[in-house]
Amino acid sequence: MLQVQELERIGLGNFPTPLEFLPRLSGKLGPSIFVKRDDMTGLAMGGNKVRKLDFLLADARRKKADIVITTSGIQSNWARQTTAAAVKLGMRVLLMLRTAQFKEFPTQYDGNLLLDHLMGAEVRFLNMKIDQDPSAHLIAAADELRQKGHNPYVLQIHEAEAPLTTIAYYDAMREIQTQRPGKQFNYVVVAAGGGTTLGGLTLGAKLLSPKTKVLGVNVGAFKKSTIIKSIVESAEKASKILGVENTLTPEDVTVIDDYYGEDYGITTPQSLEAIRMTASTEALIIDPVYTSKAMSGLIDMCRKGVLKKEDSVCFIHTGGVPALFAYRDSFPMSQAHKLS
């Protein structure tokens, strides 16, 4: 079996990230709850994308790219972290950002978009939903830049890249195991967007921690069936790279559809409660798009007894906190705390 350390990577992040016990949240909800702090990976305020970019941008560096082109939503953690990684490697960045959950193009820099600007990214906006395919726009931009003498590298999470991003979170599960030697969590809870974080953790659990069940809470970017199909296909290729025969089947993958609400990026009463609860009990700040939806699922599953008092649960904090500032209207001053 190939060791992950043998694969080419850049060394962008601060690993291992901390694994912390949350005593007050555990006391409130019942199970023993831990958090894997992948919001602390470093690189422009961190997040789970750093693990993936560590592998992906090694190819851009090898091909001597001078500009990275990528896409996601306006308040994208992926865009922020890709920009940061490219800047560290001396490359320029072009972001093709979709309006996604927002009705209009932004008129001011805020949240992730502010950080993109400060790091020098060129930003172009597309009036598209998060699940629409912007490939034609990226290809056209790359052709435009080549005509100007540049060597662009188009980075879009697709079939060719997904196996490496799956391996990145297979490695994260290995990291978790080294932080609790001889112990296995009953559950790992994580936000499910495109699916490679969930897929990597699920593959890692199957191969390294078979008593652990990984629960992916869908944040509404893609349909459950699309996420599972993508995970299984990516895991098969990741397993081949790792040199293991055992891979994932659709039955291995758990995606929970109950907590994303109206749509991707739109808060729910439960996700806002989750943000307030983790902040007020543990000073743990989570984001409005991904981790709050996943945490709202964890809270509800505790209340319903799906996650029991005797269980140990690891919550994966995938980052995204800068986006919180673009959602300030969800936290009106009238709801400010008063000491009695």
Question: Using only C-alpha atoms, what is the Rg of the chain?
Answer: 19
Q: Look up residue 45 and give its DSSP letter.
A: S
Catalytic residue among 26, 76, 234, 292: 76
Dist. CA 106–CA 87, nearest whole Å? 24
Q: Is 76 a catalytic residue?
A: yes
Quick one: which of 333, 245, 318 has its CA closest to 286?
Answer: 318
Q: Look up residue 335 and give its DSSP letter.
A: G
| Residues recorded for the chain | 340
Answer for the pair 222, 131: CB distance below 8 angstroms, yes or no.
yes
Dist. CA 35–CA 188, nearest whole Å? 9
Quick one: which of 234, 173, 153, 160 has its CA closest to 51?
Answer: 173
Dist. CA 308–CA 29, nearest whole Å? 9
Dist. CA 13–CA 48, nearest whole Å? 10
Q: Look up residue 99 and give its DSSP letter.
A: -
Q: Which helix (H) or strand (E) holds 187?
A: strand 187-192
**Half-sphere exposure at residue 301, Cβ-oriented, CA atoms within 13 angstroms:** 24
Q: Which residues are the active-site residues?
A: 76
